[in-house]
Amino acid sequence: MIIRGKCWKLGDNISTDHIISGKYKFEAINDINKMAIHVLEDVIPGFYKLVSKGDVIVGGRNFGKGSSREHAPRLLKLVGVGAVVAKSFAHIFYRNAVNIGLPVIVAKRIPDVSETGDVIEISVVEGYIKNVTKGIEERFTPFPREVLAILEAGGVVEYIKRFGGLPWSRNIG
């Protein structure tokens, strides 16, 4: 599972309200797609039109702080974000991202050396992040096979639809 795309550099303390303002929370009652045009609108105006499939958000500390709404990681994935790399994550955002199949990776060096527009490559299986533009690589502990199975399926719901249970409740190889 290789992710490769343009870097979108963000700073510290990007909250779920930065990702999708709470004022739009009821727009998703019938169709979450209606919220996509508002993703990161106060941080990067027009982001939903600028982002390409597989692009990588690179943040600082405490990425995803704030509400426990699953909308934030779901909408990032919906507009094409392939992964989020940050120095640290709010725990509920991290868990929600994995649950919906959006890879989230903690990195210490890549957030400091990356700039918007750099090309980022990630292997969640081999455990590396490369800033291809700058020729810098950082290793991380690969995800456990159960988490990889969820990510590869596109999230917990898709995994259950496909396999009828969660990966830790069955032998996945």
Structure confidence at residue 10 as a pLDDT band (50, 70, 90): very high
Domain 2-142, CATH homologous superfamily name and number: Aconitase, domain 4 (3.20.19.10)
Sheet holding 128-131, edge to edge: 104-106, 83-86, 56-58, 2-9, 119-123, 128-131, 136-139
pLDDT digits (tens, 9 = 90+) for 140-163: 999 999 999 999 999 999 999 988
Considering the chain, what percentage of its residues have pLDDT values greater than 90?
Answer: 77
Kindly state the average pLDDT of the residues 8-34.
Answer: 84
Confidence of residue 67 (pLDDT cuts 50, 70, 90): confident
Strand partners, 137: 130
28-54 pLDDT tens trace: 667 788 889 999 999 999 999 999 999
Domains in the chain: boundaries: 2-142
Please name the helix (run of DSSP H) or strand (run of DSSP E) that holds residue 83, with its range, or none.
strand 83-86
- The pair of three-digit structure tokens given for residue 89, joined into one six-digit string: 């994550």
* pLDDT tens figures, 91-120: 999 999 999 999 999 999 999 999 999 999
**Sequence-ordered list of residues with C-beta below 8 angstroms from that of 43, at least 6 positions apart, any chain:** 10, 14, 18
For residue 71, name the pLDDT band (cuts at 50, 70, 90). confident
89 touches 43 (CB < 8 A): no
Do residues 75 and 39 lie in contact, with contact meaning Cβ atoms separated by under 8 Å?
Answer: yes
- Strand runs (DSSP E) across 91-156, as ranges? 104-106, 119-123, 128-131, 136-139
